[in-house]
Amino acid sequence: MKILFYDTKPYDKETFEHQLSQFPGISIDFLKTDISPKTAPLAKGYDAVCAFVSSDLGAATLDVLHACGIKLLLMRCAGFNNIDLETAKRYGITILRVPGYSPEAVAEHAMALALAVNRHLHKSYIKVRENNFSLVGLMGFNFHQKTAGIIGTGKIGAAMAKLCHGFGMKVLAYDIHQNPELDFASYVELDELLSSSDLISLHCPLMDSTYHLINKDTIEKMKDGVILINTSRGGLIKTDDLILGIRARKFFGVGLDVYEEETKNVFEDRSDEILEHSTTSRLLSFPNVVITSHQGFFTQEALDAIAGTTLSNASAYEAGNPISGNIVNP
């Protein structure tokens, strides 16, 4: 099987090439450019393409992939909300993803963001580098004996719940399906979680039912001085409403690894650009907001798992026995 790998970063190539020897029937050509309607024609002559969570896999791109004879789309991530699933189904394109790679990687990053905004680590780091050792403006609060609200208790949400429990926090959870591993957590309705939690962390997929789950109405139901963390999907939060809430001093702090405007920024160096009319720059202007560049997954263990599962998906598909649990559109 010949795979065309889009949007290659050095760590992608290194990790996949390291495991490629275990899959002798697979060859990969790596491209730095991401997939789009303009770059999709490069897939002609290949059996599959490999893309990521920020790739443009709308109808126009899939039209071109179909014309190129592509029948397999390998997603080296868990998310697939960037894919036009109806178009893929119409063309008979199978989509295989990596549903779980390292839940702990994302959960630990969520906790890192929570600790950073709570203890003002981003501010204190800069102050000390300028020989300013004053503690003014750096006071946080103990997580111990506070309440954590976990929205979405799949593998990542469960890992975050366990971390919060380890900090000595009371854990409230909200999900359609209760996770039996979380016997220490109390499942409650969303309104109760919002009004009772000192720390709220989002770990649910982006669907019609969760789009803009955090909005003006739900923000109003939160405690004053709450910490909000999102390492899941940017569309879970209505950014304009979040900004209004920050300006109204609703939040003690906000930590975002994902946000609505991130597509052009993810994994790119834009340090020489002026972000005019940018929601991102507005968020960065607030002293109690920490934004990272979609790096929650970015550990060696997670990258190894992503490469292994993606290559296994390709191999199993070629053998006519795709891994059912990894199929997006059965």
How far is it, in rounded angstroms, from Cα 105 to Cα 156?
8
Catalytic residue among 76, 120, 233, 260: 233
How far is it, in rounded angstroms, from Cα 323 to Cα 277?
44
Phi and psi angles of residue 17, each rounded to the nearest 5 degrees, phi first: -65, -35
Give the strands of the sheet with 48-51, arranged side by side.
Answer: 27-30, 2-5, 48-51, 72-75, 94-96
What is the Cβ-side half-sphere exposure of residue 183, based on CA atoms within 13 angstroms?
Answer: 1
Give the strands of the sheet with 147-151, arranged side by side.
Answer: 186-187, 170-174, 147-151, 199-202, 226-230, 251-256, 289-291
Which tokens is 98 given? 């990596």
Q: Decide if 294 is catalytic.
A: yes
Count of CB atoms situated within 10 Å of the CB of 97: 22
Determine contact, residues 35/60, Cβ cutoff 8 Å. no
Catalytic residue among 76, 109, 203, 294: 294
Q: Decide if 108 is catalytic.
A: no
Residues forming a β-bridge with 2: 27
Catalytic residue among 189, 262, 276, 277: 262
SS3 34: coil
Give the active site residues: 233, 262, 294
